Amino acid sequence: MKIDLFVWSIVIVCAALFILCDGLSAHWGKTGSSRSMTYVMLLAPLSYWAFAFINTRQSLAVTGALVNTIVVAGAVLVGAVFFKEEVSSLQYVGIALALISVTLLNLS
């Protein structure tokens, strides 16, 4: 099992950028704050650049699964922590299983 820490760090940065954009978009939707949408427009190209960079090192299937699963888990956590949304214990189990799957996808 070989784990490329550089690629994993870019995966985390990429997912964090997408999660930040999701949170800012939700903030814009709830408040109408143009500042939030401006940040999204500035961060989105950087997010997709990071995704493309990861894709130069991994296949699209693995890259998409890694980043998108982390984004889903992160968006749920942002919704629960910052927007005080209800998340059931069964949904938390699903998130944990998704994160386990991300780890398994990276094993070769």
User: Where do the structural domains in the chain lie, given as residue ranges?
Assistant: 5-105
More confident residue, 41 or 102: 41
Q: What is the pTM of this model?
A: 0.83
Backbone angles phi, psi at 3, to 5 degrees: -110, 120
What pLDDT score does 64 carry? 87
Q: Average pLDDT in the 77-101 region?
A: 89
CA–CA distance, 35 with 64 (Å, rounded to integer): 29
Query: Residue 45 pLDDT > 60, yes or no?
Result: yes
**What's the DSSP call for residue 57?**
T
More confident residue, 41 or 103: 41
Query: Residue 88 pLDDT > 90, yes or no?
Result: yes
Q: Average pLDDT in the 66-85 region?
A: 89
Q: Where are the beta strands (DSSP E) in 9-64?
A: none
